[in-house]
Structures are given as structure tokens and as C-alpha cells.
């Protein structure tokens, strides 16, 4: 007896699935899956103020497979823990979800939009100018710094600060 909400797992039907990896083994799992002929996608993100690129979803990646034909290639790959499932059968992810994530990436890396735009009023959180209000002159640079304009002793002073030191007013 078929369940109405059961995922469609017919042969010849390529679908995206989420796979859970072993801790900090996402890259290794991708390499091992690709060696086995499994298409894998590990979205990455770089945050402002950091030079480090990290997985968008730590401990998880996407695989594009025919579930019945390639299930064991995935679950027995080194670095892979299990499929994400709601119940006993792995749950497919809609193609448009993965497509949206892929379209948001440049060279496989998602770069979030700047948290500030020119003209935004911000307050400095710490350092020698803590508590002062400033205006964003230039949004976040790739180095994670914003250029601000301070009204200090009746003179406009420009300064560059790490984005983590300012908050929206």
C-alpha cells in the first residue's frame, strides 16, 4: 500500500537529497562522492570581516542522484554519515531550492549582501570611539571594513573600521 506523501523514488529520476557528513569532513565527503560518480554540491559562504570560507550548512551537502540506483554509493562513501530523512526514506529537496542556492554563488561561494549602505546611521560598539554615532560612507569592503564619517569636534572625520564594530542605530 503506497502512502500519499511518500517521496517519488522511481529509477531514472534524478533528484537532490541532503546528506549529513561527519564533523568537518564536508570537503572530504565531496571528493569521495565524486570519485564514485555521484554529483555533489557543497555551498560555501564567506562572511564580512572574515577571510575564511566555510560551508553554508556545516555538516551537510547536496547530492544529485537516482536514489534506488545510487543509495549505497552515497551512504558507504567515506566522510558521509547518512541521508536526511523524515521517516525511513530519504527526503528529496525541490530542484528550485538547490538552483536558487547555486545561482546565489559566484565560483561556488556565496557572498552575503553588505549589511550597510551609504547614508546609514550607525553607532560604534567598542574601541576609542565607542558610543559615537557615524554615517556609512562606503559599505563593506571584501576585507570586512566599512568607511564611516564621524562628526568629531565639529569636523567631519573619515575612518575605516571592521564591520563588527558598528551597529545600526
Domain for residue 76, yes or no? yes
Residue 31, H or E segment? helix 26-35
Residues 160 and 106 reside in one and the same domain: no
The domain spanning residue 128 has which CATH number?
A: 2.30.30.30
We report the CATH number of the domain holding residue 95 as 3.30.70.940
Do the beta carbons of residue 30 and residue 42 sit within 8 Å? yes
Residue that is last in its domain, among 110, 140, 155: 110
Task: Answer whether 82's CB lies under 8 Å from 44's CB.
Answer: no
Residues 89 and 152 in one domain: no
The span from the CA of 99 to the CA of 95, in Å, is: 6
Number of domains forming the structure of the chain = 2
Residue with the larger pLDDT of the pair 161 and 44: 44
Does residue 51 belong to any structural domain of this protein?
Answer: yes
The answer to whether position 7 is within a domain reads no
The phi and psi torsions of 30 (rounded to 5 degrees) equal: -60, -45
pLDDT at 158 > cutoff 60 = yes
- Angle (CA) 143-46-37 rounded to 5° is 145
Print the domain residue range for 131: 121-168
Q: What is the pLDDT of residues 14-38, one digit of tens each?
A: 999 999 999 999 999 999 999 999 9
Distance from C-alpha of 84 to C-alpha of 74, rounded to nearest angstrom:
12
Is the pLDDT at 163 greater than 80? The verdict is no
Compute, in degrees rounded to 10, the torsion defined by CA atoms 161, 167, 132, 142: 10
Amino acid at each position: 500500500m503506497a502512502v500519499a506523501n511518500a517521496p517519488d523514488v522511481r529509477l531514472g529520476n534524478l533528484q537532490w537529497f541532503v546528506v549529513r557528513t561527519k564533523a568537518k569532513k564536508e570537503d572530504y565527503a565531496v571528493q569521495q562522492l565524486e570519485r564514485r560518480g555521484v554529483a555533489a554540491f557543497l555551498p560555501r559562504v564567506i562572511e564580512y570581516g572574515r577571510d575564511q570560507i566555510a560551508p553554508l550548512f556545516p555538516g551537510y551537502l547536496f547530492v544529485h542522484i537516482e536514489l534506488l540506483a545510487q543509495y549505497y554509493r552515497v551512504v558507504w562513501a567515506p566522510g558521509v554519515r547518512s541521508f536526511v530523512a523524515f521517516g525511513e526514506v530519504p527526503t528529496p529537496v525541490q530542484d528550485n531550492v538547490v538552483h536558487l542556492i547555486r545561482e546565489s554563488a559566484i565560483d561556488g561561494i556565496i557572498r552575503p549582501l553588505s549589511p550597510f549602505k551609504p547614508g546609514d546611521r550607525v553607532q560604534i560598539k567598542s574601541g576609542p570611539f565607542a558610543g559615537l554615532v557615524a554615517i556609512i560612507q562606503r559599505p563593506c569592503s571584501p576585507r570586512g571594513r566599512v568607511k564611516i564619517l564621524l562628526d568629531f569636534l565639529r569636523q567631519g572625520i573619515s575612518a575605516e573600521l571592521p564591520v563588527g564594530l558598528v551597529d545600526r542605530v
